[in-house]
Structure 1
Amino acid sequence: MGARTYGAVLPRWLGITLLVGTWHLAGCSAYRVNHTAEPFLAEYAAGPAAAEPPQFSLARPSLPESGSAAQRSRADQFSVSHPRVDDYVTSFQTDSRGFYQRALNRGSRYLPRMERVLREENVPTELAYLPLIESGFRTHAVSRAGAVGPWQFIRATGRRYGLRIDGYVDERRDPVKATRAAARYLKDLYAQFGDWHLSLAAYNTGEMHIQRELNRGRAEDYWEMSERGYLARETCNFVPQFLAALQIAQDPTAYGFEQPPDEPLQYDLVRVSHSVPLKTVAKITNTSVDQISELNPALHRGVTPPQGYTVRVPKGTKDIVEVALARMRHDARQVVAAPLPSTPETYKLRKGDSLAAVAKRHGVSLTALLKANRIRDARRVAAGRVLRLPAGARSAKVAAPARAPQRLAARRAR
């Protein structure tokens, strides 16, 4: 479907003359689609064509005729015929073609689980394609405004809908958990506005802005609000951009795109009770750190939190990982529990000890003890030093060192 021209095209001089006076009336229709900007990368940077006359269109969208808006299925609002939707279809097919194909391919790894979450939350599955224009399905996408992840949550909204955001974890990057948060947010917006176009606009600009415009009574729906210039340019573009992206995604080959690969991410879940580096998980599963990081995009420090975490591992490796981590945990506890002061390997020198007595007590020569610890002068070794015992040393009960005879005699003389 190509772009269409609606309304009268004004002569250049008249268009320039009337531009200032009619800017408010024209609203979003004064903007042409920027066919050179990728939607996410440009953050909807389509601007007015300075050398072109503005085009005015107060066209309303054509919706399926299946009763009143209240009775019509909410999914019907995603099948819209409108000139601005057509413009974005053309944009995706031409200058933004590479972006769209890459985003569609990337999204195929996440869409099955996203759609399942939306169904569980009783939200239309068509909304699973919203991250296509929000982020290009990039889990690590960050906007200029600080929105993060495939669904582009700002910190406050993410936390409001239950996403963990701290020094170890940012669940805005998690394609499953962020989808559930987005579904609940969108469901709340639909409950407030009763219209998916308004709900999508509110998702982009904030529900307070949309509610304020409705309260003013100047517009009844998104399209009127948009055409009359009551919305920011980005929000004006956001809804038709999404509808165009969805239209293509439902039948990519019909619009000249390749069918995305059917290769969704597959993984098992392993609960760990302590901090585990992702490189350790990669080594256990014989994969790369990049592969483990792709499965766990919310972990932005390359390690699981010390309080415990459910980590994703490659499909079929759950048992291997659980056994390996349990063994490592057991070995670590054994090392921590091992007594340091007196073992066949080490001995902590106590006040009054002599190196000769320590060597004799453990069945090694004084020379061997000095050599093992690189000690040149036995008289300069202080109490508290941990000595390495040479190979072949035997364990011995640590008895209190005997006082030197001359010291005892001196005390008795007092």
Structure 2
Amino acid sequence: MSVRVPRSFLVVSLAMLAGCASSGGPRPGKAPPQVNALYDRMNQASKGYEASIEQARRGDTAAAEQSRKQSLDQLKDASARCALTPGCDQQRFAAVFDRLLRLKDGSFIEGEDADDTEQGAEVGAQPGDAAGSIVVNALPQAQRSVTMLKGQQFSDLMVMNGPVKAALEMWLTQLRPNLMDAYVNYQMMRYKMWPAYKKADLPEALLFGIMAKESGGKVHAVSRSGASGPLQFMYATGLRFGLSNADGFDQRFDPTMAAQANAEYIDEQLGAFNNNLELTLAAYNGGEGRMRRIAAANPGASFYDPQIYGQMSAETRDYVPMVLAAAWLFLHPDSYHLTWPKVDGQPGQIVLTRSASLAELTVCLGSARDMPDGWFRTLRNLNPRLDPQVTLPAGTRLEVPKPLEKVYMAACTTGPWPILASDLHNAVKIVAPPPPAATSAALVNTSPAASKPSPTASKSYTVRRGDTLSSIARRSSCADVEDIARMNGLKGHHLTVGQAIRLPVCR
């Protein structure tokens, strides 16, 4: 039989400890004696807490409660002193906090599951936070997977330390517009992306956090390194999870397929890293091979342990807390004076009554349904295979948010707006004709397939900074990524700046 200490006591104690952590890495050189003394107290407190668990298992509940309280008091005191002592690495205390937080047989986790959860503050919440009253069993059954990861509460996986708090501030200040755009974009695509995560029993908040950091919900995003799509897969990794090039379309741009591939990847890496979320995210950003080598050399260490954290690139150190912070805000906006916009992302369809491009539809739809930035991004995200400048024939079916079905019939079938949109679109085609792309016939089921011109010659091209095989292929009218890769014998589709490659020329 184990003793249960009030959850609020332990939560506040560990939250105070976590708050002392900073983003600094390990410091070189021998630590001063006073610092080593604090580290010794930290280790003693950790062992004391583990010993209290053993006492509880033996049924000595009184001794277990006393040992646990003494250990937590010692840990809090040493952590506070560390913050005031030059040369003391606060990340070590964050790592201890992380390890204790993950102890599955600890009193604050034992006996708690989706159907039997005490009311109490979530880990990392401060007194008075609205999030303190939110628990898994207060949610509808269908929503529980939003806050669970492999049977654990998402709150129990969060270490609210310095890097995560800094990321929260970044999202709420400089990147607030990006966060809001990401939320709107995600809600419009939710019906395409969420089912894959739900099937894999992964938290929806995690999906949003990754997407917000990777692309902001822009389906056609391409990074300088060639990572593409809403979840930014590199070509080789995407291919491994079923994202190939089909009929000239890079499937990494498909939100449904990208979410499925991402869910499979995250599930695979959680298995490899013993369900350690931070290490899994670090692998997604910094490379799974590198992370597995580092983790194997430091068994049991958390991401914030100096032995791990100190070996991460600056990008990965930033990436992991930024994803977690976005996920946390997705779940607890009220706790941070954040209000998500109301978005009706219910799926719908329209059938064009007159020929139009996505660009033209954007003009005639205007800012309908309180969309101040217009509908261009949403139309592109929901119809990723379409070039927005290509005119689509009447009868073409397009995916749109359901509220736009009536708006389209009212504003884009007759009247002045479709005429204006067509006039502007024709001007764009005259001034700056876009490169030919796959026609609507090759992209929409309502038309016959289109054929691609055959290359009859080639020309030399020197790779420039920012180029990817996908971006180069998009400028060609007669070859796709695979054609160019085969022509140049490119394995893994890797390019280097200054590299000379051959491109097909069409007649």
TM-score by length of 1: 0.54
Distance 1:206 1:21 in 2: 29
- Aligned match of 1:137: 217
Number of residues of Structure 1 aligned to a counterpart in Structure 2: 280
1:295 is the counterpart of 2:382? yes
2:325 counterpart residue number: 244
- Aligned partner of 2:370 in structure 1 is none
Percent of paired sites with the same residue: 26
Instruction: Answer whether contact 1:134 1:150 (CA < 8 A) is retained.
Output: yes
For the residue of structure 2 that corresponds to 1:237, the secondary structure is: helix
Structure 1 residues 254 and 326, CA gap change in structure 2 (3 angstroms):
closer
Cα offset for 1:245? 1.3
SS of 1:110 mapped into structure 2: helix
Q: Deviations over 1:167-200 (max 9, x none)?
A: 6312212222110111011111112222222211
Shift of 1:287: 7.2
C-alpha distance in 2, partners of 1:181/1:200? 15
Cα deviation digits, residues 51-88 of structure 1 (max 9, x gap)? xx997532223737653699983444543322221121
TM-score (norm 2): 0.45
Moved more, 177-186 or 135-144: 135-144
- The code of the aligned residue for 1:159 comes to L
**1:341-394 superposed Cα distances (whole Å, 9 cap, x missing partner):** xxxxxxxxxxxxxxxxxxxxxxxxxxxxxxxxxxxxxxxxxxxxxxxxxxxxxx
1:73 aligned partner? 151
Query: CA–CA distance in 1 between the matches of 2:316 and 2:233?
Result: 16
User: Is 2:218–2:381's contact at 8 Å kept on the other side of the alignment?
Assistant: no
1:290-329 Cα distance to aligned partner (Å, 9 max, x none): 565342124458679xxxx997467579xxx9xxx99976
Amino acid corresponding to residue 282 of structure 2 in structure 1:
A
Question: 1:260 matched to which residue of 2?
Answer: 341
Counterparts of 1:326 and 1:197, CA distance in 2: 42
- Secondary structure of the corresponding residue to residue 101 of structure 2: coil
CA distance in 2, matches of 1:220, 1:247: 23
CA RMSD of aligned residues (A): 4.7
* Matching of residue 193 in structure 1 with residue 231 in structure 2: no
Retained in 1: the 8 A contact 2:241–2:265? yes
Partner of 2:172: 93
- Aligned residues of 1:155 and 1:165 also touching (Cα < 8 A): no
| Runs of at least 5 residues in structure 2 that lack an aligned partner in the other structure | 1-14, 31-86, 114-149, 367-374, 407-439, 451-507
Counterpart residue identity of residue 110, structure 1: M
Q: Relative to structure 2, which stretch is displaced further, 222-231 or 247-256? A: 222-231
Q: Equivalents in 2 of 1:168, 1:78: separation in Å?
A: 41
CA contact (8 A) 1:75 1:124 kept: no
Distance change in 2, residues 1:64/1:207 (3 Å): closer
* 1:141 aligned counterpart, secondary structure: coil
Task: Supply the distance in 1 between the matched residues of 2:325 and 2:180 (Cα, whole angstroms).
Answer: 14
Corresponding position: 1:152 with 2:232: yes
Aligned 8 A contact 1:202 1:209 in 2: yes
Give the letter for the 2:91 counterpart.
S
Distance 1:54 1:262, change over 3 A: farther
Q: What are the residue-to-residue correspondences of 1:85-234 with 2, within 5 Å?
A: 85-129=164-208, 130-165=210-245, 168-195=248-275, 196-217=277-298, 220-224=301-305, 228-234=309-315
- Structure 1 residues 54, 258: CA separation in 2 closer, same or farther (over 3 Å shift)? farther
The 1:225–1:146 alpha-carbon spacing in structure 2 relative to 1, beyond 3 Å, is farther
In structure 2, C-alpha distance between the alignment counterparts of 1:85 and 1:171, rounded to whole Å: 32
**Unmatched segments (≥5 aa) in structure 1:** 10-17, 23-52, 271-276, 333-414
For 2:357, give the aligned amino acid: K
SS of the residue corresponding to residue 255 of structure 2 reads coil
Greater share of residues in helix:
2
Between stretches 219-228 and 287-296, larger displacement belongs to 287-296
Measured in 1, the distance between the counterparts of 2:446 and 2:305 equals 64
3-state SS of the aligned residue for 1:176?
A: helix
Question: Which whole-Å CA distance do the structure 2 matches of 1:188 and 1:205 have between them?
Answer: 16
Helix, strand or coil for the counterpart of 2:305? Answer: helix
**CA–CA distance in 2 between the matches of 1:233 and 1:250?**
27
Q: 1:236 to 1:299 in 2, by over 3 A?
A: same
Q: What's the counterpart of residue 279 of structure 1? A: 357
The 1:98/1:287 distance shift into structure 2, 3 A limit, reads closer
